[in-house]
Chain A
């Protein structure tokens, strides 16, 4: 008789959240759950208020009866998606297109439950529908954004940052919501190395075996040999070389005005940009609203569509599910690979 080893469940558990209750999130998630085939290979747990899930389905014209569970740890007993109901907000407190403390607090409670599940290794990825920053701030968010909330709750001490992804192309930025005149002070070797490595590792986790990553220059024409700024010579080039010495095939720095043409044409999988507008202008040109935001550097991948709560069309059932589907699929891919890594390490 051969030894019988316990069968390891290779499938990841993906937590899904409805997003801000006053926006298009609930209807998007209802549409997502109506998609065929995408739930094979993963355990999906939808977390939220029962009434809001029903409302989302009503708006989307969909009626799904999901089996209910009471703990994330039960998800592995089901092959298809399941619902984990929570009671976080009264229906009376929520109105479409209104930022409310109640809505924000509800979202924070759901996210906190997910973080705890992540810390307990009960889930392998999270995908959430759009949140509303103002609702969350009213509802008690103490951080500048949800990424910092995640990072603190998940006890992250290493570098973390947000990736904007659009089709094959991912971007990260060394500095983000700061005055432009301070951007130069953020250009450090340590940040560039950390962001480039994190990008590389994250793309691998997302299933890209050979990520081609380029670092953008900071100054016009890449500093023109030092005559138009010295950050390229003094910081960025040494950082790229340090990455290469560590075995990360990072390229650059390349001047920003032609870099995104090359990226669009498929020469690179990812661009590490130096400041907010350098990346955001390009990615919005390419069709940002179709994109997905990936929170990088956390213990588990967290994804969300790049667009917002779209209060102007909330409750009308016409929101496009495409970016939400992409966000879910990236969470599934990254969660799957993370799950394999975790099993190999145990």
Chain B
């Protein structure tokens, strides 16, 4: 087992300044080194935490103020460029500065800051794309306030997709022992059936397999594919999408050498008998796959975007405005997201392949 060596810095965007993102980032550095990085078990030895270089891309004054308010003993160290980010150490948060337009108040959304929050995300993305940074770890943003500011925004994933100029990305959630990728994501359930097309299934499956190979070090991924309908359609009695679309598409992909199991009834797929036979689950829609994942890994799951030319992982929770500023939010998901971002540096040479 080779030990990963990551020479470029990892970038965290804390996200919405009124939410819990800033304090989670501060807490991460407050306790840095007290526990090893969570190892997603992708088959390589993770570097020691003090070998990593880590920086937040955000407003340093906002972070300093939040640390003071919450009594978090973390010093803010402003660095000008990713190249200048020093190794991470407990009690210090390196910050690549992107100033806010207005002072951030805990729990109070302010559309004036939407532009700055998006700039930070865009800047961090660009540093990853041009090879100055190793990965992007995103905190929660608030879609509503950005739209309120007059900037069309449907989510991180779509933003990154557009910024990186790729046609399709895949949302995957992962926790220890279970990874679930989705064919459709934030779509009204009534529209899911028509969105399950051969093109979409093929694109998503190919991206999933490719990234499992390159980023997860899984040379021949076995994908467990859910059916769309109850009992996977039960031979056409409970819906035809399996027969008409899913099965023929999977057969075609199998001809290309992909190792696909299914379509299986979703309620039996998520039992140990089947899960032990696969490396990743491909679910047809959001609530088919994610309840199980959250069930197994609540507080310790990461949201990963596949199909991008950069490594991007994220927390799996929202801004939690009601909890913000109290220091009681759980940094588990941010820690997990960081662990995945590190472990996914499996073949660093491949990461900028599509850029």
Contact = CB atoms under 8 A, between A and B. Distances in A.
Interface of A: 176-181, 183-184, 218-221, 223-225, 228-231, 255-261, 264, 275-278, 280-282, 284-285
A259 B291 CA distance: 8
Interface of B: 144, 185-190, 192-194, 228-231, 233-234, 237-241, 266-268, 270-271, 285-288, 290-292, 294-295, 298
A257 B270 contact: no
Contacts of B144: 225
Contact of B192 (A180, A231, A255, A256): A180
A221 B192 CA distance: 15
**Looking at B144, B193, B229, B241, which has the most chain A CB atoms within 10 Å of its CB?**
B229
A328 to B, nearest CB: 25
B143 to A, nearest CB: 8
Contacts of A219: 188-189
Contacts of B240: 179
A224 B188 CA distance: 10
Contacts of B266: 277, 280-281
Contact of B295 (A224, A230, A260): A260
Q: Is the interface of B mostly helix, strand, loop or mixed?
A: helix
Given A181-B193, A277-B288, A284-B271, A221 B230 contact: no
B270 A285 contact: yes
B295 A282 contact: yes
Given A281-B267, A285-B270, A285-B295, A220 B230 contact: no
B267 to A, nearest CB: 4
A185 to B, nearest CB: 9
Contact of B292 (A181, A223, A229, A281): A281
A284 B270 contact: yes
Contacts of A278: 287, 291
Interface centre among A218, A223, A256 (most CB of B within 10 A): A256
Contacts of A231: 188-190
A228 B189 CA distance: 8
B303 to A, nearest CB: 12
Nearest to B240: A179
A181 B239 contact: yes
A256 B291 contact: yes
Q: Would you list the 9 A-B pairs with minimal beta carbon distance, nearest first?
A: A179-B239, A229-B188, A181-B193, A276-B230, A220-B286, A184-B190, A280-B267, A257-B290, A256-B287
B186 A261 contact: no
A219 B287 CA distance: 8
Contact of A260 (B187, B192, B241, B291): B291
B190 A285 contact: no
A277 B189 contact: no
A284 B291 CA distance: 12
Given A257-B287, A276-B230, A218 B238 contact: no
A332 to B, nearest CB: 29
Contacts of B290: 257
Contact of B230 (A176, A228, A260): A176
27 contacts: A176-B230, A177-B234, A179-B193, A179-B229, A179-B240, A179-B241, A180-B228, A180-B229, A180-B230, A181-B194, A184-B189, A218-B189, A224-B186, A228-B187, A256-B291, A257-B287, A258-B294, A275-B230, A276-B230, A276-B267, A277-B266, A278-B287, A281-B266, A281-B267, A282-B295, A284-B268, A285-B270
Given A275-B189, A280-B266, 7 more contacts: A178-B239, A224-B186, A230-B188, A261-B295, A276-B230, A281-B288, A285-B271
A264 B229 contact: no
A19 to B, nearest CB: 22
B186 A180 contact: no
Contact of A178 (B189, B230, B267, B285): B230
Contact of A257 (B231, B233, B241, B286): B286
B300 to A, nearest CB: 13
A255 B317 CA distance: 13
Contacts of A260: 291, 295
A220 B291 contact: no
Nearest to A222: B287
B189 A281 contact: no
A258 B229 CA distance: 22
Contacts of A259: 291
Contacts of B295: 260-261, 264, 282, 285
Nearest to B188: A229
A55 B142 CA distance: 65
Contacts of A176: 230
A183 B241 CA distance: 14
Contacts of B186: 220-221, 224, 228
A75 B239 CA distance: 47
B184 to A, nearest CB: 9
A110 to B, nearest CB: 27
A223 B229 CA distance: 20
